[in-house]
Amino acid sequence: MSDTLFMKIIRREIPATIVFEDDLCLAFRDVNPQAPTHILVVPKQPVAMLSDANSEHGPLLGHLLLTANRIAAQLGLKDGYRLVINNGAAAGQTVFHLHVHLLAGRSFSWPPG
Ligand code: AMP
């Protein structure tokens, strides 16, 4: 886990466009955006995927969601946004460091693809 791409971004070993940081998480723009606004909210504590989390991670998971909402408010995303967590390769997860996608700026279909 210590050498995931996102740990390298957290340690500032590779560049990213950071939009928010606090003691628990870092948020930065996705390098391959799927919407006009596409931000990743990443815990500094390395957890590979949501299914690895347990009750001890509850406050951290809540913090990630509240942080995504805070960023949305700061960016003025008044028309809504979508949060996505891909859990596992079959669900589309490619970086095995838990993260929340914050997507906004276009219409989103349902069910998701
Ligand atoms: P997932 O497929 O849910 O694991 O999401 C991983 C996300 O990380 C994808 O949306 C990628 O575009 C994004 N990503 C990969 N490399 C970088 C990078 N260097 N900086 C920012 N985002 C990245």
Residues tagged active-site: 99
Q: Which atom of ligand 1 is nearest to the CA of 30?
A: 22
Using CA positions, which residue lies closest to atom 16 of ligand 1? 31
What CA–CA distance (Å, rounded) separates 65 from 107? Answer: 21
- pLDDT at 2 > cutoff 80: no
Distance 78 CA to ligand 1 centre (A): 25
CB-based contacts of 81, cutoff 8 Å, min separation 6: 37, 68, 72, 102, 103, 104
Alpha-carbon distances of 48 from 53, 56, 109, rounded to whole Å: 9, 15, 28
Give, using CA atoms, the residue closest to atom 3 of ligand 1. 93
CB 48 within 8 A of CB 57: no
31, two tokens:
């390098």
Cα three-residue angle 99-19-110, rounded to 5 degrees: 50
Each residue's pLDDT tens digit, 72-107: 999 999 999 999 999 999 999 999 999 999 999 999
pTM over 0.85: yes
**5-104: CATH number:** 3.30.428.10
Distance (Å, rounded) from C-alpha 22 to C-alpha 32?
Answer: 24
pLDDT digits over 21-42, tens only?
999 999 999 999 999 999 999 9
- d(CA 74, ligand 1 centre) in Å: 22
Domains of the chain, residue spans: 5-104
